[in-house]
Each structure stands twice: as C-alpha cells, then as structure tokens.
C-alpha cells in the first residue's frame, strides 16, 4: 500500500523555489522550460501540448543556477474539475 504513494520530487530544501501555479493550459510548463532554457529542445524538461489541453498530471521539478541555486516546480492546473474516479 505504501508503494502507491508518489515520491516527492528531488528538491534542495535550502534553495528558493519558483512554484509555477495557474489554470490548466495557462503556460506553466512552457514558462518553466523557458527558465530552464529547454523550450526549443525536442525533449523539453516539462512536457507541453500544442493546444490549451492539460499535459501535466503530477508535479515535476528541476533545478537551475542563476547567481544562486533555484528549484523550479511545475504543477498541474488548478481549478480543474475532476471526477470522483480521478480523486480516488
């Protein structure tokens, strides 16, 4: 049963975090990829879609150093209606 609990992303707890929060399709993952300079890669850090549909199902993280070390945390869209099946 404990194996079903997702493991938290690897974060440096002493580093500041940039938490990407917003509605579904708002461009959170794209913003994270721009910060990480992977937006033009064929394999971006955070997956994105070509439309306003949601791709991010779980939070993900990456790290970047710009004069300091930062955690970049991408999150699923907020204010998204979920069915009871998805909540369980």
Strands (E), the chain: 17-20, 60-65, 69-74
Task: Name the strand (E) or helix (H) holding 28.
Answer: helix 28-35
The pLDDT tens digits of the residues spanning 7-24 come to 555 778 889 999 999 988
Residue listed under structure tokens 């070390």: 69
CA dihedral 36, 44, 34, 77 (to 10 degrees): -110
* pTM for this entry: 0.71
Within its chain, how far is the Cα of 35 from the centroid? 12
Residue listed under structure tokens 């869209």: 77
Domain ranges of the chain: 15-87
- Residue 61 β-bridge partners: 73
Alpha-carbon gap, residue 83 to 87, rounded angstroms: 7
Tokens of 64: 């970047």
The pLDDT tens digits of the residues spanning 25-80 come to 888 999 999 999 988 777 888 888 877 667 888 888 898 888 889 999 999 888 76
């Amino acid at each position: 049963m404990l194996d079903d609990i997702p493991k938290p992303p690897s974060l440096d707890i002493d580093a500041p975090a940039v938490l990407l929060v917003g509605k579904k399709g708002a461009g959170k993952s794209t913003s994270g990829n721009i910060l990480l300079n992977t937006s033009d890669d064929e394999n971006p850090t955070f997956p994105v879609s070509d439309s306003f549909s949601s791709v991010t199902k779980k939070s993900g993280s990456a790290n970047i150093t710009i004069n300091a070390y930062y955690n970049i945390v991408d999150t699923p869209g907020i204010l998204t209606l979920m069915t009871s099946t998805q909540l369980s």
